[in-house]
């Protein structure tokens, strides 16, 4: 007894071989996971950028306040308190460090390509939903492979764009 090529797990499927709804759903699940991942990364980047900008402003303001802080002696004459100047120096150093961290997270270009990738992946997911709605055995391996190639292309483009943005000297 021989096993037909369409059911044997080690033999490649032909292009006209029908795929199961489970295979279509499996690819769609992978795409939906990638969409969620890109959204999460974009949101985290934005939140860190806002946090870094806020801390930078706080420490910059704190530096100015500490430099201008006046301490008076018993005769009400202002004296220089070096503790405040030291705190101002530390706050200034923190503001500078945080500003450089902000450059790492504040990439509007990166946020845009995350959005583009999400929109593109949603389009691919909708095509899968159409194939799924056709019913069991109505979709061929070739059709599913074409959609998978679109998914791979989107992910590769996202990866390439991410590397370009992160490695740019801006």
Q: In whole numbers, what is the pLDDT of the chain averaged over residues?
A: 85
Q: What is the pLDDT, as a whole number, of residue 23?
A: 92
Residue 99 lies in a domain: yes
- pLDDT tens per residue across span 3-25: 344 444 544 556 788 889 999 99
Instruction: pLDDT band for 68, please (50, 70, 90 cuts).
Output: confident
What sign does the dihedral 89-95-100-101 (CA atoms) show?
positive
Q: Is residue 15 part of a domain?
A: no
Say what the pLDDT of residue 8 is: 43
Residue 61 belongs to what domain range? 21-167
118 within a domain of the structure (yes/no): yes
More confident residue, 36 or 44: 36
Does 86 fall in a domain?
yes
Number of Cβ within 10 Å of residue 35's Cβ equals: 18
- pLDDT tens readout for residues 123-141: 999 999 999 998 888 889 9
Domain total of the chain: 1
Is residue 142 in a domain? Answer: yes
Q: Give this prediction's pTM.
A: 0.72
Of the pLDDT bands very low, low, confident and very high (cuts 50, 70, 90), residue 170 is low
The 8-class DSSP code of residue 78 comes to: E
Contacts of residue 21, Cβ cutoff 8 Å, sequence gap at least 6: 132, 135, 136
- Asked whether residue 4 is domain-assigned, the answer is no
**CA max distance for the chain:** 109
pLDDT value at residue 36 = 96
Residue 7 counted as domain residue: no
70 part of a folded domain = yes
């Amino acid at each position: 007894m021989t096993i037909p090529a369409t059911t044997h797990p080690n033999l490649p499927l032909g292009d006209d071989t029908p795929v199961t709804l489970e295979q279509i759903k499996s690819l769609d699940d992978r795409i939906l996971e990638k969409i969620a991942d890109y959204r999460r990364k974009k949101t985290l980047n934005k939140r860190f950028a806002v946090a870094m900008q806020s801390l930078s402003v706080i420490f910059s303001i704190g530096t100015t306040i500490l430099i201008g802080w006046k301490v008076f002696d018993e005769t009400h004459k202002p004296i220089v308190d070096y503790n405040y100047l030291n705190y101002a120096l530390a706050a200034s150093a923190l503001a500078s460090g945080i500003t450089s961290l902000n450059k790492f997270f504040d990439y509007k270009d990166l946020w845009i390509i995350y959005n583009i990738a999400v929109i593109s992946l949603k389009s691919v997911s909708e095509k899968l939903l159409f194939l799924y709605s056709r019913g069991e055995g109505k979709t061929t391996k070739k059709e599913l492979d074409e959609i998978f190639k679109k998914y791979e292309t989107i992910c590769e483009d996202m990866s390439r764009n991410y590397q370009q943005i992160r490695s740019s000297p801006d």
